Amino acid sequence: MRDLRLKAATRLAATALSAAVGMLTAGAAMAQTSAPAGKCDVATIQAMAGADTTITAADPTAKPVPHCKVEGYVTTTNPGPNKVQFRLQLPDSDWAGRYYFIGMGAAAGYVPTDSQIPAGNPLYKGFAVAGTDTGHIGPMADWSFMGRNAAQAIDHVHRGAHVAAVTTQAITKAYYNAAKLYRYHSGCSGGGRMGVMAIERHPEDFDGVLLGAPGGRSSATMIKFIVAAQEASREPGAWVSPAKLAMTEAKVTAACDSLDGAVDGLVADHRACRFDVAKLACKAGDAPDCLTGPEIRTIKAINRGPLGPDGKPLTQGMPLTNMSVWSGFTGTTPPPWSADPATMMRGQGNGGLVIGDTMSKALFGQDYVALTQFNASRKADMDAWWAAANRLDYGQPYSANIAGFQKSGGKLLLWNGVSDPCCSDVELEQYYHDAGKTLVGGPAALPQFVRYYRIPGMAHCGGGTGPGDAPDLMLDALINWVEKGQAPDAIVTHRGADRMKLSFADPATKVVSGVLVPPPTGQARDILICPLPKVAVFNGSRTPGAVNEAANWSCKAAGRRAG
C-alpha cells in the first residue's frame, strides 16, 4: 500500500511539473513580438478601430508595467445611441499573444483596470487587457437603471461586452501586427453571467472562458435575497447575527466534516449534510451558544429557499455549510435596512436586499419597495416578475445552449463555491447537464470542451474556508487546454499566503490589486479539486497533517474510496 501511495504521489508531482513546463512552453511559443508595431497615440489607435468606436485617449503608462493605456467607447444603436466605454491595456514588451477580457461582478457600472477574478492585473503575465462598464456608470449593486434606459439595459445584458470585445480585439491585433491572438474571458457572479452571455449569444468572441458562479440560473436568485430579508425581519429577533451564524457554522462543520472521508474542516458537499439547527435551541433564554425560536425559523427558511405559489422552492436556498458568509446577503446589521446601494458597497446593512430591491425597481418601477410589496408565494406577483424579466430580456433562466461555442472550438471551465450563499453550485451543475443536451453528440461531447469544478469551502467567488487561488490555477489549466490541447483534470489549489499561487500579483510585492473578495480563512494547506463527475478522495493517511497535502488526495469517480 505504501508503495502504491508513493507512486501516486510521484505521478501527481510529475503531472504538475509537466503542466508547468507545458505552460512555460506555450507562453514562449505564443510570444509574437517584444515590441508593438503601432504607436501609442489617439490617431494611430483610432485608425485601428471600427467606425462605431471613438478613441478618447492613448497614453504611454509606466505602471504596473510599461504599456499603452487606451480609453474609448463604442456607440450602440437600435436602441440607442449609448456609449459603451472601455479600457484597453497593451504591454510595451513581452506580449504573450494573449488577450484577456475582464468579467465584471454585480451590475458593473465602471471601466475596470484590474481583473476581478482572478484578482490583479494580467499585464504582469503579458496579456493585453480589456474591460468595459457594459454601457452605464453607476453603483455596482444597482440594477434599477435597466428600467429607465432601454439601450443601457440591452448593453448590460450582452451587447456592450460583445462590441467592446470586438473592437479591443481588433485594436490589439493591429497594434502588434498579429495574425492571431488567444482570447480569454474570466469573471464570477456578474462576471460569470457575462461569460454565459458570451458563450450562448456571441460564441465567436473567445477561445477560452473561465466562468464562475454566474448569478444562478435566473433572477430567482434575486427573489431569494428579497425573501431572506423578509424572513429576517419577519418578527422580533428573527434576524441572525454574524456571531450566531459563525457559532452555527462550527456546529454544522463538526457534524458533517467526516462525511467525505476526511476530517479536514471542509464539507465537500452540502447536500450530504443533514444537520438540524433545531438541535441548537436555547434551553432558557437567549445565549451566544444557542439559537432562539425566531432564529431557528429564519435559518431553516433561508436554507430551504423561497417558496413559490405552489409551495415549492423557486430556487436553491443558502447552504448550511460556511454559514458565516450568509451575512453579506442576509444583513451585517439588524433591521431596519436601507436599500441604498451605497450601504452594500460600504459593507453595511443587507446586501441581498439592495440587490433584490434595485432589480425589482427595474422590473416594476422606481417607486417599488420589494421588502413590503413583493410576495413570492402570490401567483400574480410571480407572473408579473417573469413577464417583466422577459420584457427586459434579463433574469430568465439561461438557455444553456452552447452548441455555437462547441462549433467555434472554444474551451469552457465552469466553477462554483460549494458554500456559495448567492449562486448555487447545484444550479450550475444543472446548467452543465442541460448544456449537454444542446450539443452535437449530446452529453457525451461535453468533456471534449467543458469541465465543471465545485470548490469546497468557497463562498461567493472566494472567501469562506476554501482555496484562495482556484480561479488562478483554473485559468492556467484553461490556457493549457486552449493552446496545447491538454484537457484539465485534477488541479491542486491552495489556502494560505505561503502556498497560494496568485497569477496576477505584483511580482515584487506578491500583492494583488483590485481585490473585491476577501481571502479564505484557515491554516495553509493544499485542496485538490476535480472535474465532474469525479470527487477528491483522501487516502486515509494517519500521518499528522496528511489531509493538508495534495499527495494524499486523488480524483475518483463519485462514491469510490481509496484502497
CB 151 within 8 Å of CB 82: yes
Q: What is the mean pLDDT of residues 268-273?
A: 96
Q: How far apart are CA 305 and CA 261, in angstroms?
A: 28
End-to-end Cα distance, the chain: 8
Band the pLDDT of 561: cuts 50, 70, 90: very low
C-alpha cell at 469: 487561488
CA angle 44, 48, 52 (to 5 degrees): 115
Q: How far apart are CA 105 and CA 84, in angstroms?
A: 17
C-alpha cell at 243: 456571531
Q: What is the mean pLDDT of residues 361-382?
A: 98
Tens digits of per-residue pLDDT, 160-207? 999 999 999 999 999 999 999 999 999 999 999 999 999 999 999 999
The CB density around residue 307, as the number of other CB atoms within 10 Å, is: 14
Per-residue confidence (pLDDT) for residue 32, from 0 to 100: 46
What is the rounded average pLDDT for all residues in the chain?
A: 92
Q: Can you say how many angstroms the Cα of residue 69 is from the centroid of all Cα atoms in its chain?
A: 26
β partners of residue 413: 210, 451
Of 6-10, 52-56, 213-217, the poorest mean pLDDT is in 6-10
Q: How far apart are CA 470 and CA 451, in angstroms?
A: 14
Q: Where are the beta strands (DSSP E) in 120-207?
A: 127-132, 182-188
Instruction: Say how many CA atoms lie within 13 Å of 153 toward its Cβ.
Output: 20
β partners of residue 77: none
Per-residue confidence (pLDDT) for residue 345, from 0 to 100: 67
Q: How far apart are CA 407 and CA 401, in angstroms?
A: 12
The helix (H) or strand (E) run that includes residue 154 is: helix 150-154
Q: Can you say how many angstroms the Cα of residue 430 is from the centroid of all Cα atoms in its chain?
A: 16
C-alpha cell at 128: 493585453
In three-state secondary structure terms, 375 is coil
CB 372 within 8 Å of CB 353: no
Residues with Cβ within 8 Å of 455's Cβ and at least 6 positions away in sequence, in order, are 415, 416, 417, 418, 466, 467, 470, 493, 527, 529
Q: How far apart are CA 419 and CA 459, in angstroms?
A: 5
DSSP-assigned letter for residue 440: T
CA angle 322, 326, 332 (to 5 degrees): 130
Phi, psi of 294 (to 5 degrees): -60, -40
Q: Cell 457594459 sits at which residue?
A: 134
Whether residue 27 is predicted with pLDDT greater than 70 in this model: the reply is no
CB 429 within 8 Å of CB 532: yes
C-alpha cell at 125: 503575465
Tens digits of per-residue pLDDT, 495-535? 999 999 999 999 999 999 988 899 999 999 999 999 999 99
Q: What is each CA distance from 548 to 311, 419, 529, in whole angstroms?
A: 43, 19, 13
Q: How far apart are CA 138 and CA 49, in angstroms?
A: 26
Tens digits of per-residue pLDDT, 373-418? 999 999 999 999 999 999 999 998 999 999 999 999 999 999 999 9
C-alpha cell at 366: 422606481
Residues 309/312/313/319 CA torsion (nearest 10 deg): 150
pTM confidence score: 0.93
Per-residue confidence (pLDDT) for residue 53, from 0 to 100: 98
Q: Where are the beta strands (DSSP E) in 173-248?
A: 182-188, 208-212
Whether residue 34 is predicted with pLDDT greater than 60 in this model: the reply is no
CB 225 within 8 Å of CB 329: yes
